[in-house]
Structure 1
Amino acid sequence: MDYSNIKLIATDMDGTLLDPQHSLSEEFYPVYQALKEKGILFAAASGRQYYNLVNLFAPIKDEIIFLAENGSYVAYQGQELLVQAMDPAVTRQVLQKARSLAGVYIVLCGKKSAYVENTAPEFLEQVQLYYDEVKVVDDLLQVEDDQFLKVALLNLAGVEGSTNAAFQPEREHLQVTVSGKIWLDICDQQANKGKGMEVVQERFNITPEETMVFGDYLNDLKMIQKAHFSFAMENAHPDIKEAARYRAKSNSQNGVIEVLQELVSQNGQT
């Protein structure tokens, strides 16, 4: 496969670039440096919070692009390229409905911080994986003075059944996405990783034919559609495998790194 025209690489984190323990491979930074020397931009595209991603990539945080909160917040070198916030009144409606569902925990994802009102250990354990700035509040409905990028719902029994079905009506005016086996993300209708990719491609004058992306779950679907070189992980959701043109080994086998190493080894042509 000829990767000589690639100018932008975007990858999901959990289930994709990160291993099953949610860690970054020690092989990442050497291959990133090689990409940088070839003038290829790198973007971290995730449902994770911006501050979490910045800390995850601390050594290169001023060099790479961040598509955080499923693309509702895009930033580069400290500059905001996109803030796709939810309407506050609609956010309140989502929070009230989520509270009525059994077994559902809520994270209100603001630009300044994430907010939770439940402190159950099994919930906070999951929250701490993806959010570094977190405030515990008495009532999520009383949180103001922030822009809300996403409402993330956690159901430890799985969300593709009842939790996802409960928000079927909201799909007419919101982006409702299964972003993992136990996570359902609700954002502004225009907020998704595909829209984030469009903003980045326009900002840097890069075409889909010059773009490579990697993903594993349903919140990656619209991003997959914005790149010719679209890779589904071996461990990906069936719908992502169907949408992507190519396949990478699973995240437990360092599939993303393997493809990137192949790219940088192509005779210095990229």
Structure 2
Amino acid sequence: MKDVKMVVTDMDGTLLNSHHEVSSKFFELFKDLKQQNIQFVAASGRPYYSIVEKLQPIKDDIIIVAENGGLVIKNEDLLLSNQLDPNRLLELYTLVTNIEGAYPIFCTQHRAFILRASDELVKTFSEYYSVYTIIDTFEEITDDIIKIALYHTTNSEKHIFPFVKHLKPELNVVVSGNHWVDISEAITNKGNALTFLQNQLNISASETMVFGDYNNDLEMLTCAKYSYAMKNAHPNVKTVANFETESNDNNGVELVLEQLITESRKH
């Protein structure tokens, strides 16, 4: 572990506990990471502004991979941006708005456009998409769309994924949580975003540590020698990761970071 120069972690189900909170312990450990010159990257399906809200105290010292790799931002500088092809948007809009029980959210860099959801659902969505506009028609979407997030109240893998999986491999379609399926450009995934950063910063896979819990983390887990699945992770993630740590509610990320900091200090 002494060679690790970059730590990358997913947010929901990984760094965040079940109440969507970052522990105070993590912020303490972050000071040690910074002291050891280890770059920290938050990589999430969440939008940029939502990740910033969660990591407000350290936002100027980290890199943020948002929208499953659709955006890479450091100190408000846009390093990478992958938008959905504007020529396909109407076709995609028509498809996703006709899936029974699916609630589409059209994600842009600065806000989300939420279609026809109840007040209760909007409240649920606002945990992830705190900056949003409610819309009734396609024409009301005014910005470049980076990702379409589809929400199902019980199980997205069963009730949404079968209706959109035919879009692969032309587009990236991934079950990103129990309730979520995300659609983005084919090149958009956390793994490609991480590879971009490794090249930019001249950091190898053997110098990278990654934590994840769901299928949208699979690609980035393959980019690191120190890849960790959370105890609460999807079975696919446990198959791909080289190691396993405790659950997100038992500070799984923090436990490994403590080991990393101990190792780094020895050298």
TM-score range, shorter chain: over 0.9
- Out of 127, 130, 149, the residue aligned to residue 129 of structure 1 is 127
Normalised by the length of structure 1, the TM-score is 0.96
Alignment of 1:1-270 (within 5 A): 3-139=1-137, 141-266=138-263, 268-269=265-266
SS at match of 1:178: strand
Which whole-Å CA distance do the structure 1 matches of 2:62 and 2:169 have between them?
A: 34
Moved over 3 A (4+): none
The AA in structure 1 aligned to 2:190 is K
Question: Which stretch shows the higher mean deviation, 126-135 or 32-41?
Answer: 126-135
Quick check: 2:205–2:225 contact (8 Å CA) kept in 1? yes
Report if the CA contact (8 A) 2:152-2:159 is conserved.
no
- Return the offset for 1:119: 3.5
1:107, 1:36 → 2: CA distance?
A: 35
1:54-82 Cα offsets, whole Å, 9 max, x none, are: 12111111110000000110011111111
Separation in 1, partners of 2:234, 2:187: 23
Deviation of 1:241 (Å): 0.1
Spell out, residue by residue over 1:121-147, the C-alpha distance to the aligned partner (whole angstroms, 9 max, x if none).
Answer: 3321221111121111231x1135411
Is contact 1:104-1:153 (8 Å) kept?
Answer: yes
Query: What is the CA distance between 1:46 and its match in structure 2?
Result: 0.3
- Cα contact 2:46–2:128 (8 A) shared by 1: yes
**Can you give the 5+ residue segments of structure 1 that lack an aligned partner in the other structure?**
none
Distance 1:77 1:229, change over 3 A: same
Aligned residue-pair number? 267
Identity %: 36
Shift of 1:21: 0.8
Which 5+ residue runs of structure 2 have no aligned equivalent? none
Q: Which amino acid aligns with 1:237?
A: H
- What letter corresponds to residue 118 of structure 1 in structure 2? R
Deviations 1:224-269 (A, max 9, x none): 0111100000010000000000001001101000100111122613
Alpha-carbon displacement from aligned partner over 1:95-129 (angstroms, at most 9, x marks no partner): 21111111110100012211012231332122111
Q: Distance in 1 between matches of 2:25 and 2:169?
A: 43
Kindly provide the amino acid, as one letter, of the partner of residue 202 in structure 2: N
